[in-house]
Amino acid sequence: MNESPPISTPDFPQQLSQLRAALLDLHKALVDSERVSYEQNIGTIPSANHFLQLLTNDPWFAWLHPLSLLIVALDEALDPKAKIPLTAETAAALMKRTREMLVASETGEGFARHYFDALQRDPDVVMAHAAAAQIFRARR
């Protein structure tokens, strides 16, 4: 995604909320896509509880953890009861972190490589990525 100007308007909590919602949708699309891929390669996941265990402990799904942690960071930043108030600098740093994370790489490794693969195989992931990217375009 292209570099965008720092957040300088007082609506940065709203922008982060929109980004959080888009990332939740993207996370769900990625989780659903990985579940299908896992079941095609490994076998059927017998229950929701078993799937939750796989999501948290199985190396197959480990690449999703950085995105999960980013969503948690957004939750903490947006928490009105947080000990540290949300500043424009914090919001800009979270936007930058997100922009850098959502770069797929065919030759990379870790999140970037798996993200590339998910974008190639699943149109729902592409649509969720486009929705997240729209937030950055709207800031220009």
pLDDT at 24: 97
Residue ranges of domains in the chain: 12-138
CA dihedral 121, 69, 14, 112 (to 10 degrees): -30
Could you tell me if 11 and 128 are in contact, meaning their C-beta atoms sit under 8 angstroms apart? no
pLDDT at 85: 83
pLDDT at 6: 45
Task: Of 59, 138, 67, give the one whose Cα is nearest residue 101.
Answer: 67
List the chain residues with pLDDT less than 50: 1-8
pLDDT at 120: 97
Alpha-carbon distance of 57 to 115, in angstroms, equals 19
pTM: 0.87
- pLDDT tens per residue across span 79-108: 988 888 888 899 999 999 999 999 999 998
pLDDT at 8: 44
- Which tokens in the block code for residue 109? 């490794």
